[in-house]
Amino acid sequence: MFTNNSLLSKLTFAVSFVIVTIGLSSSASAQETITIQQAVERMLQNNLNIKQAALNVSTAAVNLQQSKAAVYPSLNGSASSNLYFGRSANPTTGLVVSQNSFQGDGGLNTSVDVFGGLTKVNQIKQNKILLAAGNSNLDKIKNDLTLQVVTAYFQVVYNVDLLRASKEQLIVAQQTQEREEALLEAGNKTIADVSQAKAQAATAELNVTNAQNQLTISYLTLSQLMEMRADSDNYVVVAPTVEEVAMAQKSYNVNEVYNASLSIFPDIKLAQLNREAAEKGISVAKGSLYPRLSLGAGLGSRFYYGLNSLSSDPNFNTQIDNNLYKSIGFNLQIPIFNGLQAKSNVKRARIDYEGFKLQESLAKNNLNKVIAQAIADLRAAGSRYGSTQNTFNAQKDAFNVIEQRYNVGLVNSLDYNTARTNRNKAEIDFIQAKYDVVFRSKVIDYYLGKQINF
């Protein structure tokens, strides 16, 4: 009797597992498959924070272009017209007359800075650095979001396996409950045994629900990072292979990784460029302390029309020729006292420079710390992976023995459920450790500027 029940139980489990597997496979076949590299690329293409940072770069480029144009001479035209009633000066004769009149003026004026404390030149240099800093900030945002995508992607991969394992455990728990109920009817089990089996099945069902919820949330997080529709039914992710897990268990040197990251990591480049821009800002501020010499020139003429004595007024062309004037001259501005504004600007610029120097040092120190932590995490993950693998294999073998003895009535339901719980926990720990070691390896690749894929 026990043998037939055991055979029936195993057959039912096999059929159920095949049905679940086929169901998952048919569902997955209708879905788009996204690799970790494709997930990163979609984020880079769609993320709104990246687009906003790109607009900031465009603004910095316009600022640079404008500062370059500022060194060229300015040229402005002007025109005005006025009606006069009563006494007014006749510009053609210089006499004050009592008559209504119309007067028009027009001209061109140009000006160019000869010397201005090199403010404009230094502003161009600073804007070049700020443009480079804007590009580095864009790279930094891309880098930070890439790490977020990788983290979210691995969370999905882990939760997919967790849900699969939970469903398998639920099938076994339900079969155990059915078996206990059948044995109760045959008088070979007690109500307590059946209640214990029901409790185990309910716990397994709850685990499936929790695993499904975690998977849904992780899909939502990944979809939001890629700016995709938040629906876990429209795509599936690719899990790392066994070879990838084996390759992830590498040994890294902290100093080597750190030195390699210094020249390529956007956070460091951004901090360096911000410090250089602040240093150039001191030179820009100092320019206000020097005299400013500019060269100007002008060309203009006017037209006067007496409304009360039309015949006495020369024609338009004659007046324009007669009233034509030209000018050229220098303008010198010497700062003597302006409420300490210029000196205060220089002091503020120096304070900003010291602040950005500290930020650069902090960025380098932080990079060294996170790389050291990442390498330590990878080593710990590798050790945990080996331990959990051994534990899982041992618990799986132990459960197989207990299950065989349980099927022939040599082990009670309490020992069987305990062995199954231990085996399930060991499997979940192993799944987590397996993906954690790959994730930690990809974090090192991230700091080395390598493309993240598998």
Q: Are residues 284 and 356 in the same domain?
A: yes
Residues 442 and 329 in one domain: no
250 and 286 together in one domain = yes
Domain membership flag for residue 436: yes
Together in a domain, 36 and 86:
no
Same domain for 264 and 375?
Answer: yes
Does residue 68 form part of some domain?
Answer: yes
Same domain for 191 and 93: no
For position 14, which CATH number holds?
Answer: 1.20.1600.10
86 torsion bin: left (phi>0), alpha (psi -120 to 50), beta (else)? left
The verdict on 178 and 245 lying in the same domain is yes
**Which among 299, 334, 369 is the end of a domain?**
334
- Residue 452 falls inside a structural domain: no
Q: Which helix (H) or strand (E) holds 110?
A: strand 101-115
Cα distance between the two ends of the chain? 50
Is residue 143 domain-resident? Answer: yes
What's the whole-model pTM score? 0.80
Q: Could you give the CA distance from residue 446 to residue 147 in angstroms, rounded to a whole number?
A: 7
Place of tokens 């404390």: 117
Shared-domain flag, residues 305 and 239: no
Work out the angle at residue 400's Cα, subtended by the Cα atoms of residues 396 and 401, and round it to the nearest 5 degrees: 120
Amino acid residing at 241: T
Residues 323 and 283 in one domain: no
Q: Which CATH number belongs to the domain containing residue 326 in this structure? A: 2.20.200.10
Domain of residue 320 covers 73-114+291-334
The residue out of 334, 353, 388 marking a domain boundary is: 334
- Partners of residue 298 on adjacent β-strands: 109, 327
Residues 306 and 162 in one domain: no
Domain endpoint, select from 282, 312, 334: 334
Q: Is residue 454 part of a domain?
A: no
Task: Note whether residue 210 is domain-resident.
Answer: yes
Domain for residue 344, yes or no?
Answer: yes
Please state the domain count of the chain. 2
Query: Digits of tens for pLDDT over the chain (454 positions)?
Result: 333 444 444 444 444 444 444 444 444 445 789 999 999 999 999 999 999 999 999 999 999 999 999 999 999 999 998 888 877 777 766 677 777 888 889 999 999 999 888 999 999 999 999 999 999 999 999 999 999 999 999 999 999 999 999 999 899 889 888 988 888 888 877 888 888 889 989 999 999 999 999 999 999 999 999 988 765 467 899 999 888 888 888 889 999 999 999 989 999 999 999 999 999 999 999 999 999 999 999 999 988 877 776 545 567 888 888 889 999 999 998 988 888 889 999 999 999 999 999 999 999 999 999 999 999 999 999 999 999 999 999 999 999 999 899 888 888 878 888 898 899 999 999 999 999 999 999 999 999 988 887 7
Q: Which residues of 293-331 are buried (b: 16+ CB within 10 A; e: fewer)?
A: ebeeebebbbbbbbeeeeeebeeeeebbeebeeeeeeee
* 21, 68: one domain: yes
State whether 413 and 328 are in the same domain.
no
